[in-house]
Amino acid sequence: MTVANHERRGTALLDWYEKHRRHLPWRAAGDPWPVLISEVMLQQTQALRVIPFYERFLAAFPTPGNLAVAPVAVVLALWSGLGYNRRAVRLHEAARRIVREGWPSNAVGLQDLPGIGPYTAAAVACFAFGEQLPTIETNVRRVVSRWHGRPLRGGALIEAARRELPPGRAADWNQGVMDLGAAICRPTGPSCLACPVAAWCAGPATYVAPPGQGRYRGSNREARGVVIRTLVDNGPATMVQLATVTDLSVARLGRALEGLVAEGMIEPADAGVYKLAGSEAARKLARRAFPSTVRMLSG
């Protein structure tokens, strides 16, 4: 692929993106905090499902400082239903680090934050701080692989995507590729006739999808989510009460409780009761410090 073709493809993609971009609430944010929240929520979760959780979470915690002092119980309550609750705990830890040490301003520094991997760090660095680098996620991997006519991974994928970046337009290019992958260059049944860069693409047949996730139903992840939702909705409960409400087997419930306690999401109390992490004193603090959050949770 010649440099001229790279430029034509980049121009065609950006022109298409200007007309067809998805208007997602976090894209208007220049502040790294909303960008970080959105990117953590978008991990393994579709954008349209994220929107209501993102808006509610950002309203409750508009700055890292707000989240840093919030009880874990309140954080999990606002996150519950989105799935992968561990992400909320790691974001809580990241907020505390940001409050103590300030924002890292590049992708390398951002990866030092708890729970922040290479993609999320690159996304925040690019979209909030203007670093000119590709954000390698599922859509980018699929689209760029199809352009080049071979399944790209690792360093080869990063290098191929870097060569595609139009000077000074990394954020728009990354968002454009994501939107192209979501709307046109889909994993199956891509709409090649409607694709703005079809003239410079090797075609969809060369792409090999990565292995899918394990099944959710019956998994430990499902059991953990059920426990968190039950404690959010009903308050502290014994193992017997949780088994009755959730209909989980004793073995599955025990594994879920053990993992959630170890990760600091829930904690055992007196008389065999389990509750969301955070003492009653912390809950009272939450009611004073986050009245709007408490109203959202109770409403």
Nearest to 270 by CA among 237, 240, 244, 241: 237
> Would you call 39 a catalytic residue per the annotation?
yes
What does the alpha-carbon distance between residue 123 and residue 136 come to, in Å, rounded to a whole number? Answer: 9
Q: Using an 8 Å Cβ cutoff, are 73 and 277 in contact? A: yes
What does the alpha-carbon distance between residue 147 and residue 184 come to, in Å, rounded to a whole number? Answer: 13
Nearest to 89 by CA among 99, 101, 74: 74
Question: DSSP letter string over 46-103?
Answer: -HHHHHHHHHHHHHH-SSHHHHHTS-HHHHHHHHTTSS-THHHHHHHHHHHHHHHH--
DSSP 8-state secondary structure symbol assigned to residue 274: E
What does the alpha-carbon distance between residue 197 and residue 181 come to, in Å, rounded to a whole number? Answer: 12
* Active-site position among 18, 39, 137, 164: 39
Q: Annotated catalytic sites, by residue?
A: 39
